[in-house]
Structures are given as structure tokens and as C-alpha cells.
Amino acid sequence: MPPLANNHPLLCSPFQLFGCFLAWETRNVSIPALNDSKYIGMSVYNVGIMCIIGAAVSFLTRDQPNVQFCIVALVIIFCSTITLCLVFVPKLITLRTNPDAATQNRRFQFTQNQKKEDSKTSTSVTSVNQASTSRLEGLQSENHRLRMKITE
């Protein structure tokens, strides 16, 4: 019988904590298609619960290795399937119900954000150009005045 330590749920905990951290950090992403933090949180919860159930049942069936193997395999398959469904099914539903809106919404948001950034940049460049032009004109007029004073 293989040691139970290889299937221990505490071995997954650092990865689950890292997944929770990434989901927390990306919860306010402005692109809705990339904001999956709710589904990632549910996936982490699912994996945690299934690890606890799988470890308990595996511990109870340690004298029957075939049953233990089947239960651990089913837990792994169930966790993987549920996680994939939680992450990808909402996106597939969105694409299936309204494919144009899903792609247009993303493109529209990206182009709007890009236009806002471009307008901010062009506004700041225009104001810098105007300030530089007015300063240059002032320096040229002062230069001309001083030249006239020298020639007198």
C-alpha cells in the first residue's frame, strides 16, 4: 500500500493559498472576460472540500487498496471536472447566448480605454507645446528688444 502522505491534502494547501491570492489580486480587473475571481474562489473551495472528503474516505479504506485507489481517482476526476466547468462554462454560455456582444464588449472596452489614454496623452502634449511656444515667443521678443538696446 502506498503511503498516505503522497495524497495528503496539506500538500495542496500552498498552491490553494497561492490560487486564492491570485484570485484576490485580480478581482477588480476592468475586462469582464478576465475577471474570474468568483469562479476561481469556488474552484478552490471545491478542491479543499474534496481533499478533506477524499483524505477521510482514504483513511477509512486504508485496508482496501483497490477501493482507496478508486475513491482517490474519482475525487481527482471530480475536482478537475468541476474546476474546468466553473472556469469555462460561464464563458461558453456568454459566447453561445450572444456571441456578438461578448466580442464587441471586449473590443469596445479596449478601444475606449485606449482612446481615453490617447486623449490624455494628446491633451498633455498639446498643453506642453502651447507653453513652450508662448515661452519661445517671449524669449524671442526679449532677445529682439535687447539687440535693439545694444545697437543704440
Give the separation between CA 29 and CA 15, rounded to whole angstroms. 22
Report how far apart, in Å, the C-alpha atoms of 33 and of each of 18, 56, 77, 94 are.
21, 37, 26, 10
User: Which contacts (CB < 8 Å, 24+ apart) does range 97-106 have?
Assistant: 102/33, 105/32, 106/31, 106/32, 106/33
pLDDT of residue 33: 63
Q: Where are the domains of the chain?
A: 33-99
Q: Which pLDDT value is given to residue 1?
A: 41
* pLDDT tens per residue across span 8-59: 555 567 777 787 787 777 777 776 666 677 888 888 888 888 888 888 988 8
Q: What tens digit of pLDDT does each residue of 47-84 get?
A: 888 888 888 988 899 899 899 999 889 999 999 999 99
Single pTM value for the model: 0.51
Residue 2 has pLDDT above 50, yes or no: no
- CA 113 to chain centroid: 17
- Helices 37-60 and 13-25, axial angle in degrees (round to 10): 170
